[in-house]
């Protein structure tokens, strides 16, 4: 669900035609819809309201400080995975006591920054990290809260292997048997109050069932830990709710909550949720202009001015994004957002960028209306893991980020210049 739609053959973001935005700001450009962000945040908040959860938006999916401000104003906390993301959360006015810090490789510097900020909890992933956290907290003479990240050994078979994180053999967290030992040996530490469990089983997870399995297993672990005298206060169920890469692909927040909330009701646990893409993904499109159209053997290439440097998900995970011209020819119908949709007169094309790599594509074998130089192409569902994964490879300055609010817009990150790219070397 989002607020991008065609009107009279032109793609609109809320009340603005995207072609009018890029006529001023140029391409490639990321355009975000504030109403869509707000819609997804509030859907999750109201679906889970009974549990009074702390929602910690996962910054890594879409990290612009101005986006974080929108979410903070709605009451969101933040899930950070690095010192840099912590700095963003704080720069956006994020409340430290609603910040959780995940990641298997936290450095001393990052840990100290988070202790100084006074975050809500460290999501600890190994015995060594715990010992280090305890040492650093001890040095500072403070006591910090930690959750142990547990692998419930559950995953969604539809999730790409690179984004599965809940299986035993991933690098994340510890398995359930080791969690018991972890508490027995480290659970009474004087510098780190270990009173919480964290799970994050991967993403995107296209049904509530993996959550139900993972939470059920985790609640059994919590019961055992409580019986052993460890008063577990908090459960962080992670993120990974799916987004609509095609229309109707993901369950609604109410569907996830319908199965998850009854499991957690009355358990005496403070609940944390870490949604990322379910808030950010459908809030953004990447706009790009067709540069050239060419044939190579029997393949048709549409070469655009966005590239893997702007959106790496297709090259990185084989991810599929729906894309379509932002301006329709007279008589053309607005498309359903389905990868398999074949518009009248369609041509099978590969949409590629100008980077010197064969993996530089945005889509392959897609049936699209014939396109020509100068046409504007919209890549949908690009708000999450889009701009944040962009690079300057081939010395390509990064695209701007633009936030639309009703009939107005604001450039929330300007387009980089050559000078921005080269300056740190001079
Ligand atoms: C990436 C991540 C998330 C968010 O995942 P989404 O698929 O964007 O919802 C939440 N928690 C942790 C620990 C993560 O690493």
Least confident of 145-159, 285-299, 397-411: 145-159
What's the whole-model pTM score? 0.96
Distance between Cα 270 and ligand 1 center (Å): 19
Residues 235, 377, single domain; the answer is no
DSSP H/E element including 86: helix 83-91
CATH number of the domain that residue 316 is part of: 2.40.37.10
Residues 229, 348, single domain; the answer is no
For position 163, what pLDDT does the model report?
A: 63
Residues of the chain with pLDDT > 70, as a percent, come to 97
Residues 359, 260, single domain; the answer is no
pLDDT in tens, 222-255: 999 999 999 999 999 999 999 999 999 999 999 9
| 168 pLDDT higher than 90 | no
Residues 214, 275, single domain; the answer is yes
Total tally of structural domains belonging to the chain: 2
Residues 294, 251, single domain; the answer is no
pLDDT-based confidence at residue 171 (cuts at 50, 70, 90): confident
Instruction: Choose one of 212, 244, 279: the last residue of a domain.
Output: 279
pLDDT in tens, 267-286: 999 999 999 999 999 999 99
Q: Which pairs count as long-range contacts for 79-84, CB under 8 Å and 24+ apart, including other chains?
A: 79/239, 79/274, 79/276, 82/110, 83/107, 83/109, 83/110, 83/113, 83/114
CB distance 232 to 269 below 8 Å: yes
Instruction: Choose one of 255, 279, 303: the last residue of a domain.
Output: 279
User: Which residue range forms the structural domain that includes residue 372?
Assistant: 4-32+281-425
Residues 236, 359, single domain; the answer is no
- Ligand 1 pocket test: which of 240, 241, 385 has the largest number of ligand atoms within 8 Å of its C-beta? 240
Instruction: Choose one of 259, 279, 299: the last residue of a domain.
Output: 279
Residues 187, 322, single domain; the answer is no
Active site residue 356: yes
Residues of the chain with pLDDT > 90, as a percent, come to 94
Residues 257, 153, single domain; the answer is yes
Judge if the beta carbon of residue 126 lies within 6 A of ligand 1: no
pLDDT in tens, 44-60: 999 999 999 999 999 99
Looking at every residue in the chain, the average pLDDT score rounds to 96
pLDDT-based confidence at residue 290 (cuts at 50, 70, 90): very high
Residues 293, 274, single domain; the answer is no
| The two structure tokens encoding residue 295 | 């044939």
Residues 295, 267, single domain; the answer is no
Q: At what angle do helices 176-186 and 209-227 cross, to 10 degrees?
A: 30
């Amino acid at each position: 669900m989002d607020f991008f739609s065609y009107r009279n053959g032109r793609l609109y973001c809320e009340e603005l035609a995207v072609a009018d935005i890029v006529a001023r700001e140029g391409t490639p450009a990321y355009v975000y819809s504030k109403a869509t962000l707000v819609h997804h945040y509030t859907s999750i908040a109201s679906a889970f309201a009974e549990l009074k959860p702390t929602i910690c938006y996962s910054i890594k999916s879409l990290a612009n400080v101005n986006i974080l401000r929108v979410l903070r104003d709605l009451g969101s906390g933040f899930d950070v995975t690095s010192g840099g993301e912590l700095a963003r959360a704080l720069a956006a006015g994020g409340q430290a006591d609603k910040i959780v810090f995940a990641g298997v490789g936290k450095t001393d510097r990052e840990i100290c920054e988070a202790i100084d900020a006074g975050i809500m909890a460290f999501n600890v992933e190994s015995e060594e990290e715990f010992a280090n956290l305890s040492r650093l907290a001890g040095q500072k003479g403070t006591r910090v809260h930690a959750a142990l990240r547990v692998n419930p050994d559950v995953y969604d078979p539809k999730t790409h292997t690179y984004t599965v994180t809940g299986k035993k053999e991933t690098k994340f967290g510890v398995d359930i048997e080791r969690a018991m030992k972890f508490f027995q040996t480290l659970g009474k530490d004087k510098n780190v109050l270990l009173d919480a469990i964290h799970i994050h089983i991967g993403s995107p997870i296209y049904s509530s069932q993996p959550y139900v399995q993972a939470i059920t297993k985790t609640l059994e672990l919590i019961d055992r830990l409580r019986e052993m005298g460890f008063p577990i206060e908090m459960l962080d169920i992670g993120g990974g709710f799916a987004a609509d890469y095609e229309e109707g692909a993901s369950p609604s927040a109410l569907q996830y909550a319908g199965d998850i909330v009854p499991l957690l009701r009355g358990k005496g646990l403070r609940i944390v949720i870490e949604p990322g893409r379910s808030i950010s993904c459908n809030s953004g499109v990447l706009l790009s202009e067709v540069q050239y159209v060419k044939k190579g053997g029997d393949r048709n290439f549409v070469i655009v001015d966005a590239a893997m440097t702007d959106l790496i998900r297709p090259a990185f995970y084989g991810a599929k994004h729906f894309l379509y011209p932002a301006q329709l020819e007279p008589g053309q119908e607005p498309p359903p957002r389905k990868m398999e949709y074949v518009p009248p007169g369609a041509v099978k094309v590969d949409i590629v960028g100008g980077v010197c790599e064969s993996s530089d594509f945005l889509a392959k074998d897609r049936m699209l209306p014939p396109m020509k130089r100068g046409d504007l192409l919209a890549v949908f569902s690009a708000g999450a893991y889009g701009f944040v994964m962009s690079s300057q490879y081939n010395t390509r300055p990064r695209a701007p980020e633009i936030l639309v609010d009703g009939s107005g817009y604001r450039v929330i990150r300007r387009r980089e210049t050559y000078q921005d790219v080269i300056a740190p070397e001079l």
